[in-house]
Structure 1
Amino acid sequence: MSSSVLSCTLPLPANYRMTDILSFHGRDALAVSESVAANQMRKGILWHGSTACLTLRLLPLRAEIELSIDHTQTSLEVDELSALAVRMLGLNQPIDVFEESVGQHPQLGVLINNQSGLRVPVAPTAFEALSWAITGQQISVAAAISIRRKFIQLVGLQHFSGLYCYPDARHVSCMSASGLRQAGFSKSKAQTLLTVSQMAVSGGLELNNTQKEPPIEQIRQQLLKIHGIGPWTVNYALLRGYGWLDGSLHGDAAVRRGLQVLLNHVEEMGENQVRQWLENFAPWRALVAAHLWELVSRGG
């Protein structure tokens, strides 16, 4: 099979936390679609419709990016590859501004200073982020990872390297609800996934990742009108799909647990309590949530 390779290099800040990126992409221990080892990750993606393997190698002060595409007739734009890597690595997230603005907060400040440099890993496409958010609704992370793996294998878009590529909206829109249920989706989630896929293909849902300033509010309103999608799904998908750092994730169980630990509350915190507390940190509410996730993951 003919193939093409694109490559580029990006500078990394001195405090870049490579483990955050590697841990996110290493969620599936079976490594069906992503493979993480040492300081690099490999991920199967679709590049203008062709199966491809993206490699991100994280070194001190720089990232080396390589894309191996199975077919040569696809677009070969290095600038597009660079922009993709910037988004995925969170290099366009103004965390210095955030850390300066909250560094003196009596409760959050200590946590932020201890976790300085934290960025939110972003999926290659907004569709991947949205479909992952739908998959993870009201179930454990382990269960969501299992369904995601079966879903990727069911679609069957495999790169020459052996990694399976995450399907795009076009491929998913051609599936049936019964087919999706074979992967473990509930009836309602299967229908929601088909709806967003078909809307994305028809243009009824704007999920373009190439815009420097995507119409976040427009996308929010479009998503909230879809049956089976609520505020958590929308805000999580916009965080993982676009790096939008102001979605309120007060409905997230790990965020509530993290805030309970941070504030030293004996009782569990309700969604309204967490929502009101997060409101103090707009336009950084989702980034604050990411710090609370990290606190919980470290056993805080």
Structure 2
Amino acid sequence: MQQVVEYGFALDLPEDYQAASVLAYHGRDPAGPAEWQQGSRLRKGLLLAGCPLCLQLDFSGPALQVKASGAASHDWDALLPSVRQAVLRMAGLNGQRAAWMQLGRQQPDAARLLAGKPALWLPLTAEPFEALCWAIIGQQINLSFATALRRSLIQLSGVPIAGSTLLAHPGPEQVAALSAEQLTAQRFSRSKASYLLGAARAVLDGSLPLADLSRQGAEAAERQLLALHGVGPWTARYVMLRGLGLGDCAPIGDSGLATALQRFYALAARPDARQTEQLMQVFSPCRSLATLHLWASLTEHA
């Protein structure tokens, strides 16, 4: 049995921090093999530098309490800075909210979208490859089926974590090692299996430098994502929003976003992709958080 160690630290949270939407995002699959969420607590299994870890996040107090655990044999001195960055990503503490609140004070449509409600925080996946997997899995299917497929992927290729019942979400090496037949046996379409395996191999061989895309800017990131077979504008933009943490992108082609814009502007019909792109321009340079608020408005007005 592997020896397990645990490291803890705390991150101060802003006074107006709202954890509910962050917890809802990460806990959207109650049966997820890489996540567990209950109340203000979240556990997450992830791979960092090839090391399977379990993060425990407690949002109940004025500071976010974090515990990271895994095999004692990991190089923890090297890992802990990456753990901190993963937590900041997951908690949405990426600096985007201040710019969004400023836009809400200056731009009438942004002010109306906020309309006295607290500005949201934009949680990201723990690392970018998880967002790429989710975006490909979620293409042209409903949320419940996408969640079931993601669960199957993690059960097939997730990595056991010492001292935890969770699995670490697989990285590109684990996904690339799967066969198309293994995925189609789990209800993946053959095309979706091909896209997912191709994306994993592209990250693994360096032809898609996923970890570096956020530093290259939105245009370069989108261009390289669109070069992947099976990746269109919605998939690329979702990865940019939830995986790369870019502040000014909207997932064009998203049906929920189009519906929210139709309601927000009282349009006779849902905007198409071109119209959605035009309508979202008013929220630049904060289109990512504007997207989050528009999605949230669907529940508010349900």
TM-score by length of 2: 0.92
Aligned to 2:220: 218
Kindly state the Cα deviation for residue 220 of structure 1 after the two structures are TM-superposed.
2.0
TM-score by length of 1: 0.92
Whether the aligned pair in 2 keeps the contact of 1:54 and 1:65 (CA below 8 Å) is: yes
Structure 1 CA distance for aligned equivalents of residues 282 and 92 of structure 2: 23
Aligned to 2:18: 17
Aligned to 1:264: 266
What residue identity is the alignment partner of 1:129?
A
Kindly state the Cα deviation for residue 104 of structure 1 after the two structures are TM-superposed.
4.8
Determine whether 1:167 maps to 2:205.
no
- Secondary structure, aligned partner of 1:114: coil
Aligned match for 1:177, one of 171, 175, 180: 180
Structure 2 CA distance for aligned equivalents of residues 117 and 281 of structure 1: 14
Aligned to 1:297: 299
- Extract structure 1 runs of 4+ deviating beyond 4 A: none
Aligned to 1:138: 140
Kindly state the Cα deviation for residue 212 of structure 1 after the two structures are TM-superposed.
8.1
Structure 1 CA distance for aligned equivalents of residues 158 and 107 of structure 2: 49
Structure 2 CA distance for aligned equivalents of residues 151 and 200 of structure 1: 17
Structure 1 CA distance for aligned equivalents of residues 140 and 214 of structure 2: 32
1:48-197 mapped onto 2 (5 Å cutoff): 48-76=49-77, 77-159=79-161, 160-197=163-200
Structure 1 CA distance for aligned equivalents of residues 253 and 294 of structure 2: 13
Whether the aligned pair in 1 keeps the contact of 2:250 and 2:287 (CA below 8 Å) is: yes
Structure 1 CA distance for aligned equivalents of residues 281 and 214 of structure 2: 26
- Secondary structure, aligned partner of 2:10: strand
Kindly state the Cα deviation for residue 277 of structure 1 after the two structures are TM-superposed.
0.8
Whether the aligned pair in 2 keeps the contact of 1:7 and 1:78 (CA below 8 Å) is: no
Q: CA offsets, 1:51-103, max 9 Å, x none?
A: 22111111343111111113423343432222221122111233122222233
Question: Given the superposition, is the C-alpha separation of residues 24 and 202 from structure 1 closer, same or farther in structure 2, using an over 3 Å criterion?
Answer: same
- Secondary structure, aligned partner of 2:188: coil
Kindly state the Cα deviation for residue 172 of structure 1 after the two structures are TM-superposed.
0.8
Kindly state the Cα deviation for residue 7 of structure 1 after the two structures are TM-superposed.
2.0
Q: Which has the higher helix share?
A: 2
What residue identity is the alignment partner of 1:163?
L
1:9-48 mapped onto 2 (5 Å cutoff): 9-48=10-49
Q: How many residues align?
A: 299
Q: CA offsets, 1:123-163, max 9 Å, x none?
A: 11111001100011111111100000011111142223211
Aligned to 1:251: 253
Superposed CA RMSD: 2.0
What residue identity is the alignment partner of 2:142?
S
- Secondary structure, aligned partner of 2:20: helix
Structure 2 CA distance for aligned equivalents of residues 31 and 141 of structure 1: 14
Question: Given the superposition, is the C-alpha separation of residues 89 and 214 from structure 1 closer, same or farther in structure 2, using an over 3 Å criterion?
Answer: farther
Kindly state the Cα deviation for residue 280 of structure 1 after the two structures are TM-superposed.
2.0
Whether the aligned pair in 2 keeps the contact of 1:103 and 1:112 (CA below 8 Å) is: no
What residue identity is the alignment partner of 1:55?
Q
Kindly state the Cα deviation for residue 252 of structure 1 after the two structures are TM-superposed.
0.7
Kindly state the Cα deviation for residue 214 of structure 1 after the two structures are TM-superposed.
5.2
Structure 2 CA distance for aligned equivalents of residues 147 and 227 of structure 1: 20
Q: CA offsets, 1:241-294, max 9 Å, x none?
A: 121121132311111111112122343232222211111222212221111011
